[in-house]
Amino acid sequence: MRTWIPLLPLLAPVIVGAQTFTGAGGAIPDDGSTAYFSVSVSGLNPATVDTSTFGVMSVCLSLLHPYVADMELSLVAPDGTTVPLSIANGGSGNNYIATCFEQDAATSILTATPPFSGSFRPQGQLGLVNNGQNGNAVWSLKVNDNYPFADAGTLLAWSITFGNDPAGYFSFTESDLPIVVINTNGEAIVDEPKVMADIGIIWNGPGVRNRLTDPFNHFEGKVGIELRGASSATMPKKSYGLETWDALGNTIDTALLGMPSENDWVLSAGYPDKSLMRNAFVYATARDMGRYAPRTMHVDLVLNGTYAGVYTFTEKIKRDPERVDIAKLLPTDVSGDELTGGYIIKVDKTTGSGGDGWYSQLPPAYAPNGPDVYIQYDDPDEDELVAQQAQYIEAYVDSFESALTSAFPDDPITGFPHFIEPVSFADLVLINELMRNVDGYRISTFYHKDKNSNGGRLVAGPVWDFDIAGGNGDYCDAWKTTGWAYRFGQVCGTAPQQVSGWWQLLMAEPAFQRVVRCRWEELKMGALSIAAIDARIDSMAAMLNESQGFNFKVWPLLGVYTWPNYYIAQDHAGEVDTLKWFLHERWNWIDAQLPTATLPCNMVGLPEELAAAHAMQARFVGDQLHVLHAHDLQGMLTVLDASGRTMAIAQSRQASGSTVIDLAGAPPGVYVVHASGTGVSTRAVRTE
């Protein structure tokens, strides 16, 4: 049952010499579409709106909605400049009643409680519309219900007031960071398709000042730009996907900001992360652990003439020799070794960048009655994969899941070590757990697989999207410095995205527990040491010291709750200190809680028993069986078929390397290779 508050009169400031124009209201669409409520302004004198003599002073409205956090309200100027007034504020409260947005109001809409009534500072900078444009034109109130098909609402009326005390805005001119300037030439940025825009990057080098008046000395050209993200797409500060294009809209590879040449990039807003560094910190940590993770550069973004804040310019996850270095999977690769690799898959939301895939055979971790886990094709995506390829990668993952539930899940021939690269999975555990990533394992979680001739096992990573990790969440125990993130289902078992059952089974296996502990013992003396963690954070904080002040002038979030913050500091230094404190506490808890490794660890973090299991691998390449040696193997190699019949015998090399055995005429099936006198064996599957 809905209870409606009676409408109070729509109020506009009573200002001598001011001119107010009132627009009609109407029903707010509840299907996710955007409504524009327009008013035609005429007779302004002077006609030009600016920040010094005459311009927009306030916007007022009355709006009825039973759950105002669903509302996105923005002012759209005649030239397309869009200023967020209030986006996703007010929680489960209701209604805007005679609400006015004024740049100099004493109270921010971010700190107010509904029903909103009176004057508030808007979420964006109202003065951005006072940019010298002609005010005698059509102005619009943009309204969007970002939670469709739930609650209906109505805009009763709205007004815009012009006067001789116009709203101002922060004027960005120079920075220690690279400056990225993008102009869409009047085109709106949407979530597909990308629109063509001009881009210029000003970067005079490390430690050299960059000025908006400098030439585009680092890069100048075209990009395709689109909105990015699922929940982040509803936030005022948007993230963007970019492709470097030529003048005809064809992708062109370009080396940007010290990163290897490619054409796919991301401008990540990280709106709720007031440290402005969580993603960059995690990616740098993963790289120091020896894993590929997207390279990053903090930049100041100027979009369509407006300073948009500090962004993380980063590589998009994709197959590339300088990114996820696996073989390229061609549409013609439908059999043999060529079919076995070149896949990136993920567990993620199906909104935003989600796509087709399949459901895991396993129940979610610690939530057997929770929603099934959906595994998606990422690169190649569903439009590029052919049927044989989609079937192959699904069957491979199904086999891995079957191995986890088998009688001997740690068997090197039939268990998880045959299907996955355990150290990569251990590394993903350690990063997710150090950050107590509330999205870990269940959202933005990537895996990749190369061809069998290149190793062929499933590898965890690269890491992605940690802006609400590191204590930066107020739900599902995300703020706690204790507890395992992979046990998310014990805390929030009905959430729409759950942790894959892989992780419950892996973390229950003593063999995998030992891998995790051994890897921790290795990394806590290096990449994951407290000293290394602090050094990374301090370095980024120093680099952001100036521009963070610019960012929080246009996005005044410091000291204010912003979904889903738990810890709220009063300044940027406090946000950085909170992140460091949280990671120190997590570090100590993890060190005390991980099971002790009962076997000695080798130099790459594997317990000796698993290292022996991986001392040899075998993969078919056509008619040839390639036996790869990670250690010295002496004696004979014996190849057996599934029935135990000897198919071939060959002399192994004395040193590490590979031995090639000709098995022309051998039928498809499972083959086991034994190295005599060592106790080492491995398995290979022939698919044709």
Tell me the C-alpha distance between 519 and 604, whole Å.
8
Is residue 456 situated within a structural domain?
A: no
Is residue 459 situated within a structural domain?
A: no
| Omega within 30 of 0 (cis) for the link into 409 | no
Residues 6+ apart with CB under 8 A from 395: none
Kindly report, residue by residue over 89-109, the tens digit of the pLDDT: 998 999 999 999 999 999 999
User: Which residue, of 315, 345, 367, is where some domain finishes?
Assistant: 315
How many structural domains compose the chain?
Answer: 3
Same-domain check for residues 125 and 66: yes
Is residue 93 situated within a structural domain?
A: yes
**35, pLDDT greater than 50:** yes
Kindly report, residue by residue over 258-301, the tens digit of the pLDDT: 999 999 999 999 999 999 999 999 999 999 999 999 999 999 99
Same-domain check for residues 73 and 127: yes
Tell me the C-alpha distance between 380 and 397, whole Å.
16
The alpha carbon dihedral of 663, 665, 671, 677 has a sign of negative
Same-domain check for residues 79 and 100: yes
**Range of lowest pLDDT (51-55, 449-453, 598-602, 611-615):** 611-615
Tell me the C-alpha distance between 407 and 671, whole Å.
20
Same-domain check for residues 31 and 158: yes
Same-domain check for residues 154 and 237: no
3-state secondary structure at position 69: helix
Is residue 667 situated within a structural domain?
A: yes
Same-domain check for residues 48 and 128: yes
Same-domain check for residues 189 and 292: yes
Same-domain check for residues 86 and 133: yes
3-state secondary structure at position 45: coil
Residues 6+ apart with CB under 8 A from 386: 331, 334
Question: Residue 648: which of 628, 630, 623, 613 has the closest Cα?
Answer: 623
Phi/psi zone of residue 142: left (φ > 0), alpha (ψ -120 to 50 degrees), beta?
A: beta
* Percent with pLDDT over 90 in the chain: 77
Kindly report, residue by residue over 355-378, the tens digit of the pLDDT: 799 999 999 999 999 999 999 999
Same-domain check for residues 135 and 41: yes
User: Which residue, of 119, 135, 163, is where some domain finishes?
Assistant: 163
CATH number (domain holding residue 630)? 2.60.40.1220
Residues 6+ apart with CB under 8 A from 499: 364, 365, 366, 367, 373, 440, 441, 442, 486, 487, 488, 489
Is residue 453 situated within a structural domain?
A: no
The whole model's pTM is what? 0.83
CATH number (domain holding residue 101)? 2.60.120.260
Average pLDDT along the chain: 91
Question: Residue 196: which of 238, 240, 242 has the closest Cα?
Answer: 242
CA distances from 369 to 208, 216, 483 (A): 57, 56, 22
User: Which residue, of 116, 131, 163, is where some domain finishes?
Assistant: 163
Strand order in the sheet with 55-64: 19-28, 153-163, 55-64, 96-102, 116-120
Question: Residue 456: which of 333, 321, 622, 340 has the closest Cα?
Answer: 340
Is residue 382 situated within a structural domain?
A: no
Residue 664: other Cβ atoms inside 10 A: 7
Q: For residue 161, what are its two tokens?
A: 């007031």
β-bridge partners, 64? 154
Is residue 412 situated within a structural domain?
A: no
Residue 561 identity? Y
Same-domain check for residues 97 and 143: yes
Tell me the residue range of the domain where 36 lies: 19-163
Contact 114, 95 (CB under 8 A): yes
Same-domain check for residues 103 and 221: no
